[in-house]
Amino acid sequence: MARDLNIACVQFTAVDGEKEATVAKALALIEAAARQGARLIVLPEVWTGLGYSTPTAYKEIAEPIPGPTTDKLGALAQRYRCHIVGSTYESTAGGTLHNTASLIGPEGKVIGLYRKTHLFDAPRRKDIKPGVQESEKVKAGDTLPVFETAIGRIGVSVCSDLRFPEIYRVMALKGADIIVCASAFLSPRFDHWEFFLRARACENQVFVAASGQVGIEPKSGIGFVGRSMIVDPWGTIVATASDTETFVAATVDLDFAEKVKSWYPLMDQRRPAMYGEIVAGAKPARAAAE
């Protein structure tokens, strides 16, 4: 019997300094997707506000989890009996901030949290607005949970995590049926975006559902790829969003992953004893030009 799951990826532009309006826009898109039958709804990264327009904008956006915004997500999740996941700036009691994805279940409660583990630090990129150093804003997480839910086992990643195949492999080995990616993937990098999503799905034989911010954030001038998409375990793009504030949805059969694994049992053919250097901690040699 097929395990059908309707997935929706919501994309929009989160505007700094307009948190209330941004949240309202997101809730309207979530509700529209839920009314069409989505049982898993993926939001972008830092979807309540990018936090790059001023040196302190991210602090003003941050909230505790659970908190006012996750409570609003919980009300919709409970009303429509769906799961919702997306990342926001999380403030903790100790004052530490994280880029945290909350997974909300159909009971309206937070099932679990994933704190972004691979922060976006690119100080020498000439094509990126100067000062993009995420580690100066938030602390990285250090766990890779896979959440058991009524709709399957869900792994969670956030944006630049996508460039690190090791974390997707870990979640796949933990039994993830689907790995979501909440993103604010910077433009113009569509080739990287599509390539990484298809590679992570194909090499780990899992579904990947990725939602990104879209357009240009007007306060900072930072632009995003958008193109939210759902990719199956064969690496085929099932659905892609248009270049606008919208959502894209598709119904997938989670059991298709088992069929793909029967065609090509990659996980059974792994040779972990050979892979020690991956986790040895040594840094690769760098070119002298750097």
Would you state the pLDDT for residue 277? Answer: 87
- Distance CA(77)–CA(85), nearest Å, equals 10
**pLDDT confidence of residue 229:** 98
Residues of the chain with pLDDT under 50: 287-290
* pLDDT value of position 188: 79
Strands, E assignment, the chain: 4-11, 40-42, 83-91, 97-104, 110-115, 146-149, 152-158, 178-183, 207-212, 214-216, 223-225, 229-231, 237-240, 246-253
Q: What is the pLDDT of residues 225-260, one digit of tens each?
A: 999 999 999 999 999 999 999 999 999 999 999 999
Q: pTM (2 decimals)?
A: 0.94
CATH no. for 4-121+131-269: 3.60.110.10
The Cα–Cα gap between 9 and 182 comes to 9
Q: What is the pLDDT of residues 111-121, one digit of tens each?
A: 999 999 999 99
State the Cα–Cα distance between residues 93 and 86, nearest whole angstrom.
21
- Give pLDDT tens digits for 149-161: 999 999 999 999 9
Could you list the active site residues? 45, 116, 159
pLDDT at res. 131: 59
d(CA 179, CA 207): 6
- Whole-number pLDDT of residue 287: 46
Question: At which residue do the structure tokens 């899992």 appear?
Answer: 206
